[in-house]
């Protein structure tokens, strides 16, 4: 049996802990056939599951970030594999290793800066009014004075440190 490098062993262990039955995958393809994201992105969840069971290279795979966590695949898998839970766990490991998709990083930085992942603009304000909603949602948009509290919470749980890890890399980038 080939020796697993340290990184691989660590990731495989994390995956095993999060999703003990991922190794039961029989590569039937029901998951990828059920995947709405796969119709529009590079995501092939069947291949990603196979990669996750084999190698820590999955940490650097851009496909990891194309899943919308709709759970279609997990509900239909004939082997009852916790596919999405494994994807989320692998993302968690990746982020702790400083690896994140650039778009996810941008959204996270918006959250840190504005206390909201999607800053509201003129268009959104107008749409909300047309729908009969308040112009501003019940968030820091409406209660701007609470932004500092949100920042304290995000800092306290280490979210800012995760985003600013030394040697951070974008998933799928050349340097990885």
For ligand SF4, the binding residues (CB under 6 A) are 25-31, 34-38, 45-46, 49, 67-73, 77-79, 81, 83-84
| Nearer to ligand SF4 among residue 22 and residue 56 (C-beta) | 22
Residue whose token pair is 């995000």: 154
| Nearer to ligand SF4 among residue 103 and residue 146 (C-beta) | 103
Nearest distance, CB of residue 35 and ligand SF4, angstroms? 3
| Nearer to ligand SF4 among residue 72 and residue 108 (C-beta) | 72
| Nearer to ligand SF4 among residue 49 and residue 154 (C-beta) | 49
- In whole angstroms, give the CA distance from residue 151 to residue 155: 6
| Nearer to ligand SF4 among residue 25 and residue 59 (C-beta) | 25
Nearest distance, CB of residue 10 and ligand SF4, angstroms? 22
- In whole angstroms, give the CA distance from residue 127 to residue 130: 5
Q: How far is CA 9 from CA 5, 14, 46, 101, 169, in A?
A: 6, 9, 21, 23, 21
Nearest distance, CB of residue 2 and ligand SF4, angstroms? 23
Nearest distance, CB of residue 96 and ligand SF4, angstroms? 21
Residue whose token pair is 């916790």: 82
| Nearer to ligand SF4 among residue 26 and residue 117 (C-beta) | 26
Q: List, in order, residues 6 or more apart from 8 with CB less than 8 Å away.
A: 55, 56
- In whole angstroms, give the CA distance from residue 143 to residue 151: 14
Please name the helix (run of DSSP H) or strand (run of DSSP E) that holds residue 113, with its range, or none. helix 102-114
Nearest distance, CB of residue 5 and ligand SF4, angstroms? 25
Residues 84/36, Cβ–Cβ less than 8 Å = no
Nearest distance, CB of residue 87 and ligand SF4, angstroms? 7
């Amino acid at each position: 049996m080939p020796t697993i490098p340290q990184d691989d062993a660590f990731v495989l262990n994390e995956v095993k802990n999060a999703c003990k039955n991922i190794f039961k995958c029989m590569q039937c393809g029901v998951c990828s056939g059920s995947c709405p994201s796969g119709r529009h992105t590079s995501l092939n969840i069947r291949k990603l599951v196979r990669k996750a069971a084999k190698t820590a290279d999955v940490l650097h795979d851009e496909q990891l970030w194309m899943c919308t966590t709709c759970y279609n695949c997990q509900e239909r898998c004939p082997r009852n594999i916790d596919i999405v839970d494994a994807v989320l766990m692998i993302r968690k490991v990746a982020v702790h290793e400083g690896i994140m998709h650039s778009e996810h990083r941008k959204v996270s930085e918006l959250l840190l800066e504005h206390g909201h992942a999607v800053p509201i603009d003129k268009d959104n304000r107008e749409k909300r009014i047309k729908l009969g909603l308040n112009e501003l949602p019940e968030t820091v948009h409406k209660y701007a004075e609470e932004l500092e509290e949100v920042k304290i919470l995000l800092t306290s749980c280490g979210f800012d440190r995760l985003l600013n890890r030394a040697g951070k890399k974008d998933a799928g980038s050349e340097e990885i």
